[in-house]
Amino acid sequence: MVSDEKQPGIPGRAAVGDELAAHRARLDELGHIDDEACRRFQSTIEFAGRKWNGAILLAGVRGARRFSEYRAMVTGISDRLLAARLRELEAEGMIERHVKATTPVTIAYTPSATGLRLIELLQPLVEWGLENEAHGPGNAAAGRSIERPAG
C-alpha cells in the first residue's frame, strides 16, 4: 500500500500524496450533488458523448460552414446522419442555421455561443485523452475522426 506521507529518500512523494488528497476531497464534494443535478449531468454527458456531436461541433469551430465542408471534415459520417445530427444540434441550440436567398439557396451552419462553450468545456477531456492514450482502447482513433482542413 502506498502511503500519502512523505517518505525519506523518495523525492516528490509528499507532493503526489497532497495531489491525491486534493483529488479525493474534490470527489467527496461531487458526491453531494442532489438528484436533479445528477440527472442533468447524466443528460448532458450523454448529449456531449453522442456519436458525431463533438466531431460536428469541432468541425464548425475549425471553419466548416457548408454541408459539404462538414462532410469532408468529419470522416466516416453518412450524408443522412450528418443532416440528422445538424438538425438535432440546431434544435438543441448548439448550431445556428443561416439561409441566404441566392440561386441556388445557400445554407451555412455555424456553432452557436452555446456550442462554442461546450467545445471549450470539453477541451480538458481532449487533453486527458491525449495524456492517457495508452490507458484505453479507441483513444488514438478518436483523435482521427476529424480531418484537418487543408492549408
pLDDT 10s digits, 22-78: 888 887 777 677 888 888 888 888 888 899 999 999 999 999 999 999 999 999 999
The C-alpha atoms of residue 47 and residue 82 are separated, in whole angstroms, by 16
pLDDT, tens only, 65-116:
999 999 999 999 999 999 999 999 999 999 999 999 999 999 999 999 999 9
Global pTM value: 0.66
Alpha helices in the chain (DSSP H): 13-30, 35-49, 53-61, 67-73, 79-91, 113-131, 139-142
* Vertex 18: Cα angle to 16 and 19 (nearest 5): 65
